Structure 1
Amino acid sequence: MSDAQALDGDRHLNQLAFQRAVSGMAFISADGIFVSVNPSFSSLLGYEPDELIGVHVQVLNERPEVSVASVSPSWLAYYTLETPSEMRLSDRNGSTVWAKVSVSAHELAGEKPGSLLYLMQLQDITERKRAQLAEASLRMSEQMYRAITEHCTDIISKHSLDGLYLYVSPSVQTMLGYEQEELVGTSIYDYFHPHDLQLMNTAVDELESRTALKLPPYRMRNKEGDYIWLETHLRVIEAADEHGREFVCVSRDITDRKNTENQLRKTNALLQKISSIDALTGVANRRSFDENYAKEWRHGLRFSTPLSIILLDIDYFKRFNDNYGHHEGDICLKQVAEALKRAAKRPGDLIARYGGEEFVIVLPITDERGAAYVAEQLRQEVELLQMPHPSSDVSSFVTASLGHSTIIPTRDLPPRELLVRADRALYQAKQEGRNRSRAFGHG
Structure 2
Amino acid sequence: MSDKEYDADSVDAVHKTLLESTKAIPWKIDWDTMTFAYIGPQIEPLLGWTQESWVTAEDWAMRIHPDDRDYVVNFCISQSKEGIDHEADYRALTKDNGYVWIRDVVHVVRKENGDVEALVGFMFDISERKKAEEELIRLQAELEALSFMDGLTGIANRRRLDAALETEWASARRSGTPLSLVMLDVDYFKQYNDRYGHGQGDTCLKDVAETLQAAAARPRDVLARFGGEEFALLLPETDADAAKAIAERCIRLIAAREIPHEASRIGPLVTVSIGVGTTHTFTEDEPRRFVDFVDGLLYQAKHNGRNRIESGTM
Aligned residue for 2:19? 149
**Shift in Å, 1:394:** 2.4
Alignment counterpart, residue 244 of structure 2, candidates 369, 372, 381? 372
The structure-2 alpha-carbon separation of the partners of 1:150 and 1:441, relative to structure 1 and needing over 3 Å to count, comes to closer
- Is the 8 Å Cα contact of residues 307 and 409 (structure 1) preserved in structure 2? no
- Is the 8 Å Cα contact of residues 240 and 277 (structure 2) preserved in structure 1? yes
**Shift in Å, 1:381:** 1.7
The structure-2 alpha-carbon separation of the partners of 1:183 and 1:273, relative to structure 1 and needing over 3 Å to count, comes to same
- Is the 8 Å Cα contact of residues 258 and 270 (structure 2) preserved in structure 1? yes
Instruction: Report the number of matched residues.
Output: 304
Runs of 5+ unmatched residues, structure 2: 1-5
**Shift in Å, 1:167:** 2.6
CA distance in 2, matches of 1:406, 1:138: 85
- Is 1:197 the counterpart of 2:37 in the alignment? no
**Matched residue of 2:124: which SS?**
strand
Aligned residue for 1:210? 82
CA distance in 1, matches of 2:147, 2:116: 57
Larger Rg: 1
Greater Cα offset, 408-417 or 326-335:
408-417
**Matched residue of 1:380: which SS?**
helix
Q: 1:55-94 counterparts in 2 under 5 A?
A: none
Normalising by structure 1, we get a TM-score of: 0.61
- Is 1:282 the counterpart of 2:154 in the alignment? yes
Q: Describe the superposition over 1:111-168 as per-residue Cα deviations: whole angstroms up to 9, x where unpaired.
A: xxxxxxxxxxxxxxxxxxxxxxxxx997787556534432332112234679764531
Aligned residue for 1:175? 46
The structure-2 alpha-carbon separation of the partners of 1:398 and 1:213, relative to structure 1 and needing over 3 Å to count, comes to farther
Aligned alpha-carbon RMSD (Å): 3.1
Q: 1:373-388 counterparts in 2 under 5 A?
A: 373-388=245-260
Percent of residue pairs bearing the same amino acid type: 34
CA distance in 2, matches of 1:163, 1:263: 38
Normalising by structure 2, we get a TM-score of: 0.83
- Is the 8 Å Cα contact of residues 163 and 187 (structure 1) preserved in structure 2? no
- Is 1:313 the counterpart of 2:182 in the alignment? no
**Matched residue of 1:342: which SS?**
coil
**Shift in Å, 1:320:** 1.9
Q: 1:41-440 counterparts in 2 under 5 A?
A: 142=12, 145-159=15-29, 165-184=36-55, 187-207=59-79, 209-237=81-109, 247-408=119-280, 410-440=282-312
Q: Describe the superposition over 1:24-60 as per-residue Cα deviations: whole angstroms up to 9, x where unpaired.
A: xxxxxxxxxxxxxxxxxxxxxxxxxxxxxxxxxxxxx
- Is the 8 Å Cα contact of residues 424 and 440 (structure 1) preserved in structure 2? no
1:218 alignment partner AA: Y
CA distance in 2, matches of 1:418, 1:141: 79
CA distance in 2, matches of 1:304, 1:148: 69
Q: Describe the superposition over 1:177-219 as per-residue Cα deviations: whole angstroms up to 9, x where unpaired.
A: 4432243467123322232223324424524742235343211
CA distance in 2, matches of 1:163, 1:274: 51
Aligned residue for 2:3? none
The structure-2 alpha-carbon separation of the partners of 1:163 and 1:398, relative to structure 1 and needing over 3 Å to count, comes to farther
The structure-2 alpha-carbon separation of the partners of 1:387 and 1:179, relative to structure 1 and needing over 3 Å to count, comes to same
**Shift in Å, 1:247:** 3.5
Comparing both chains, which one has the higher relative contact order based on Cα–Cα distances under 8 Å and sequence gaps of 6 or more?
Answer: 2
